[in-house]
Structure 1
């Protein structure tokens, strides 16, 4: 196929930046019936959580999730690896361990060679192998844009389940990966990210959040979620709403990818970042002197972002050290949960 188009040029958005506008998503979910009075459904659609959790007879829980998106990179193997890492993260964010995956594939026939599609699947399989799980099947369709992701099944014990709604007043808040993935994605789409920046991008988006079940085994860890398309403010707000508390974020403490600040100040801001702020900015209190570029990074959509962790304050330093030693050197303590309205207050 001569003059094959760049993968990212075939999609209107990329990665978790192509998620629905959060305001529209809330309207859609509000119109849906509750999951129903199923005693064994421990986590359903009531908390905007990362995955569903169903308890079996012996106290073992099944975790089920699905995640897929359009490409934010042009290398098909990297696209597959990033999409798979992102999908598996939902299981880790619930405190579980993945056991198998099913591939979700949509490709525009006639625009992409089968060999390119095979490399996307190869990348996904590589990450699944790293996570220790098989790709046990899947489904594919002819689609107008390239789409790839996984449905993932995991397990955990009932006592290990960690929702995004269970933070406690006084909890410290930790983020395990640096922010700025959406900004880097915008630069990639415009071919403005250098090789070193691209390596940083791929390294963070293909880093499995496998620390999740280890954190869930710690009684001092109360809530877990992963930071994806709604940015640190959007997913932090889900923590605040679920717990009925105020999340106080320290803007200066937020970890950033090396070139994120410079890129966003050069205008590499995604449309999803603007949509995010329009959707929930009214629930966020910002300092009057906070520069716009910092706000853009807080609404920046993260693809395969880090875990957002709340834990007892007196255990926070030890837990943070454990996370860093576990392979997440960018992890940082970024705030705290306080008694107050379900909002975010940003300081710094």
Structure 2
């Protein structure tokens, strides 16, 4: 279903990119971060459980047990991006859900968020910024996470997101380096957000199914994964399914096999690819993963969708999650990080 935009101001026209597709390309980012992780802590000598080394979704430190209580893990993340939709309230909701997702992807529970807002104050009215913040507040309230202020700057491009702090059981984290051979791969949201968002930016068409998917919290999926005993997961955002799966397989020392026919897509996603609504971020994702991927006979359109830069996508869990399709499995490490069949 498509309709015309709700607002006469098209926010997507004020930014060079949109949503998580505006991320720095993964290959360039890894080059920048190379050597910055520092020596990895060994058990007992540092509170840092998860840092830069594996490119996981958030940083995690442990707080020592006090007064006979259990130890806790603090999960810390920040995420913000340029407008992915024209409606300011929806953009705020999507950006908040996306930022909160990093905590859920680690098996945590968000307990505090602060806003991050960049706004071209001489170009866009502040009543639109208010709507963006209202959208973020609404989703944070749904997550049971208070928003305690934030930071704003005058910027040529509008940008919004959140820094989020969460809590987790350090013995029950979801990490991208904890995969092992024999585990199935479950995907909790369909793909295709990137191409539909790019079509929205180009045409003004509104895709309700994409908005509903992006504003949906990954809270229940995270809880279900933990309940099922999963220890390995990541969320699918700007690097696409293939990019995030490559990082998970590399960190875990395994190969991921994807059954391409089992991967779910949003209605209209394949049509959007055929019509050329593919972002530069998606094409860079595909170029980056190509040396690490055995594509088999997968067609070009499917390859682009598997590399599609998602915004507020679902969780990819190494394990079965009730209600989520199984899209592949982890096997012993082979020549490639990812194999499509």
- State the TM-score bracket (shorter-chain normalisation): over 0.9
| Residue 52 (structure 1) aligned with residue 59 (structure 2) | yes
Question: 1:5 and 1:76 mapped to 2: Cα distance?
Answer: 9
| Partner-residue secondary structure (3-state), 1:190 | helix
| Residue 340 (structure 1) aligned with residue 328 (structure 2) | no
Shift of 1:31: 3.5
Deviations 1:177-204 (A, max 9, x none): 00000000111011163x5xx1101100
| Partner-residue secondary structure (3-state), 1:239 | helix
Deviations 1:247-292 (A, max 9, x none): 000111110001111111111111111111121211111123x221
Question: 1:151 and 1:192 mapped to 2: Cα distance?
Answer: 30
| Partner-residue secondary structure (3-state), 1:237 | helix
Question: 1:162 and 1:107 mapped to 2: Cα distance?
Answer: 35
Aligned counterpart, 1:29 = 33
| Contact in 1 for aligned 2:114/2:148 (Cα 8 Å) | yes
| Contact in 2 for aligned 1:161/1:216 (Cα 8 Å) | no
| Residue 121 (structure 1) aligned with residue 133 (structure 2) | yes
In structure 2, runs of 5+ residues without a counterpart are 1-6, 66-70
Shift of 1:222: 2.7
| Residue 295 (structure 1) aligned with residue 303 (structure 2) | yes
| Partner-residue secondary structure (3-state), 2:284 | helix
Mapping 1:292-331, distance limit 5 Å: 292-311=300-319, 316=320, 319=321, 322=322, 324=323, 331=324
**Higher mean C-alpha displacement, 56-65 vs 173-182:** 56-65
| Residue 187 (structure 1) aligned with residue 206 (structure 2) | no
| Contact in 2 for aligned 1:18/1:69 (Cα 8 Å) | yes
Question: 2:91 and 2:312 mapped to 1: Cα distance?
Answer: 12
Mapping 1:46-195, distance limit 5 Å: 46-58=53-65, 59-191=71-203, 193=205, 195=206
Question: 1:272 and 1:120 mapped to 2: Cα distance?
Answer: 24
Misfit runs of 4+, over 6 Å: none
| Contact in 2 for aligned 1:168/1:222 (Cα 8 Å) | no
| Contact in 1 for aligned 2:115/2:162 (Cα 8 Å) | yes
Q: In structure 2, do the counterparts of structure 1 residues 190 and 96 end up closer, same or farther at CA, with 3 Å as the change threshold?
A: same
For residue 244 of structure 2, the aligned residue among 229, 235, 239 is 235
Mapping 1:236-275, distance limit 5 Å: 236-275=245-284
Aligned counterpart, 2:3 = none
Shift of 1:5: 4.7
Question: 1:177 and 1:110 mapped to 2: Cα distance?
Answer: 38
Aligned counterpart, 1:41 = 48
Shift of 1:217: 3.0
| Partner-residue secondary structure (3-state), 2:266 | coil
Deviations 1:274-321 (A, max 9, x none): 111121211111123x2211111011000000000002xxxx3xx3xx
Give the TM-score normalised by structure 1: 0.90
Q: In structure 2, do the counterparts of structure 1 residues 219 and 5 end up closer, same or farther at CA, with 3 Å as the change threshold?
A: closer
| Partner-residue secondary structure (3-state), 2:231 | strand
| Partner-residue secondary structure (3-state), 1:211 | helix
Deviations 1:95-116 (A, max 9, x none): 0000010000000111110111
Shift of 1:72: 1.3
Deviations 1:88-147 (A, max 9, x none): 000000000000100000001111101111000000000001101111010000011000
Give the TM-score normalised by structure 2: 0.92
Question: 2:109 and 2:185 mapped to 1: Cα distance?
Answer: 23
In structure 1, runs of 5+ residues without a counterpart are 325-330
Aligned counterpart, 2:68 = none
